[in-house]
């Protein structure tokens, strides 16, 4: 049976107030609050954007949604987990400061922020899933202690998974540091010595000092590499390569299994909103201002993470007149959806319902 995906066309130049009203309309259509009991703990999972990034979902777009949730419960909070890679979101203190810098203050949004996996990413609990690749998913504890989850995702391209949206926000985004490591453990980048300019930039971003410099180029010590993929992003000339045949498939399947573990924990008390505004080649972990690769499309809402992501991909690719996601990062993005459907995370069949 097809899942409902609600869609409202929108563009950034309409202004924050208009976007907040549209996001609210969509949120009410999804009827997330229908299953939520009063006084419940509600986690609003979001990405606050890395320092220097400008594409993240803006807090003012979410004001009306938060007002609606607070009619039902005051125990609502914004949340994200700490990152694997070095940066301003790898511990809770700097993560919170960055969220404030990006406008997620109590004064602006009216609700607090909690970093879901604690000070340095160790606060986790395990969910037994016993799936093909993951037996026990390591999830940030704040999610497991919440009663409902609203997953707010900025749709972007992604170097490992082709795109990142609801499934990725759920699977990778709700995992603790150990959970993220488990999902990346099959990623093994390598350096093409003929292309490497030996500039040394990737050395500064590698969290485990796995990259070392030799006379002609740098190279990766495999035993030290945790597969975070940071070097892939920072090497702008493309000297860092993936073994795509195996890596993309394993990462996406593990990510879908992690997403499934979180999804089934909430037993229907879960909703998804995807923002297809400023769709960029890489995700909001990039600390730079990236240009949009397609015109702004709008906002989507659903209770089904696979359906909302499939509808989002279809809209992006049809607006750009080609498989833009494949063209941007040369990754088969469909694995996370096909595998997600196979394990019962949702369905790729959807009915797109445009609302005015």
Q: Which residues face 353 on adjacent strands?
A: 6
Binding string, residues 216-255; x marks residues near ligand SF4 by CB under 6 A: -xx-x----xxxxxxx--xx-x-xx---------------
Among 62, 191, 299, 315, binds ligand SF4 (CB under 6 A): 191
Q: Which residues face 136 on adjacent strands?
A: 128
CA 304/CA 5 separation, integer angstroms: 8
Among 208, 264, 320, 334, binds ligand SF4 (CB under 6 A): 208
| Cβ within 8 Å of residue 214, ≥6 positions away | none
5 binds ligand SF4 (CB under 6 A): no
The token pair that represents 26 in the structure block: 């969509």
CA 264/CA 79 separation, integer angstroms: 19
**Shortest CB 347 distance to ligand SF4, Å:** 33
CA 132/CA 119 separation, integer angstroms: 31
189 binds ligand SF4 (CB under 6 A): yes
Q: Which is nearer to ligand SF4, 202 or 279 (CB)?
A: 202
Q: Which is nearer to ligand SF4, 226 or 279 (CB)?
A: 226
**Shortest CB 95 distance to ligand SF4, Å:** 19
How many residues belong to the chain? 356
Piece of the chain touching ligand SF4 by CB under 6 A; list 47-55, 206-214, 301-309, 336-344:
206-214
Among 211, 256, 306, 324, binds ligand SF4 (CB under 6 A): 211
- Which residue, chain included where needed, has tokens 């070392």? 212
Q: Which is nearer to ligand SF4, 241 or 319 (CB)?
A: 241
Q: Which is nearer to ligand SF4, 113 or 160 (CB)?
A: 160
Sequence-ordered alpha helix ranges (H) in the chain: 16-30, 63-72, 92-101, 106-109, 141-144, 166-171, 177-184, 201-205, 230-234, 244-265, 305-320, 324-329, 335-342
Q: Give the residues lining the site for ligand SF4 (CB under 6 A).
A: 189, 191, 196-202, 205-208, 210-211, 217-218, 220, 225-231, 234-235, 237, 239-240
């Amino acid at each position: 049976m097809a899942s409902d995906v609600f869609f409202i066309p929108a563009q950034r130049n309409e202004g924050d107030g208009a976007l907040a009203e549209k996001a609210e309309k969509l949120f009410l259509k999804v009827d997330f609050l229908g299953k939520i009991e009063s006084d419940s703990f509600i986690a609003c999972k979001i990405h606050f954007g890395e320092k220097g990034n400008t594409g993240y979902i803006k807090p003012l777009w979410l004001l009306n949604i938060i007002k609606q949730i607070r009619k039902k419960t005051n125990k609502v909070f914004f949340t994200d987990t700490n990152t694997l890679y070095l940066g301003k979101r790898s511990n809770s203190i700097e993560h919170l400061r960055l969220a404030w810098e990006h406008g997620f203050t109590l004064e602006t949004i009216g609700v607090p922020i909690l970093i879901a996996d604690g000070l340095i990413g160790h606060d986790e609990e395990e969910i037994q899933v016993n799936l093909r690749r993951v037996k026990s998913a390591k999830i940030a504890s704040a999610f497991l202690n919440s009663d409902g989850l609203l997953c707010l995702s900025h749709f972007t391209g992604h170097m490992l998974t082709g795109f990142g949206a609801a499934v990725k926000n759920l699977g990778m985004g709700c995992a603790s540091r150990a959970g993220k490591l488990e999902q990346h453990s099959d990623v093994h980048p390598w350096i093409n010595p003929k292309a490497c300019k030996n500039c040394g930039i990737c050395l500064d971003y590698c969290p485990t000092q796995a990259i070392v410099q030799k006379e002609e180029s740098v190279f990766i010590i495999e035993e030290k590499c945790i597969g975070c993929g940071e070097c892939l992003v920072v090497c702008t000339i493309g000297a860092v390569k993936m073994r795509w045949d195996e890596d993309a498939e394993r990462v996406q399947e593990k990510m879908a299994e992690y997403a499934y573990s979180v999804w089934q924990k909430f037993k229907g008390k879960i909703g998804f909103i995807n923002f297809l505004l400023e769709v960029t080649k890489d995700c909001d972990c990039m600390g730079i201002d990236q240009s949009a690769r397609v015109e702004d499309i709008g906002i989507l809402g659903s209770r089904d993470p696979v359906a909302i992501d499939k509808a989002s991909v279809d809209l992006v690719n049809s607006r750009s007149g080609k498989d833009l996601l494949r063209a941007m990062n040369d990754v088969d993005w469909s694995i996370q959806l096909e595998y997600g459907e196979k394990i019962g995370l949702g369905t790729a069949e959807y009915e797109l319902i445009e609302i005015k």
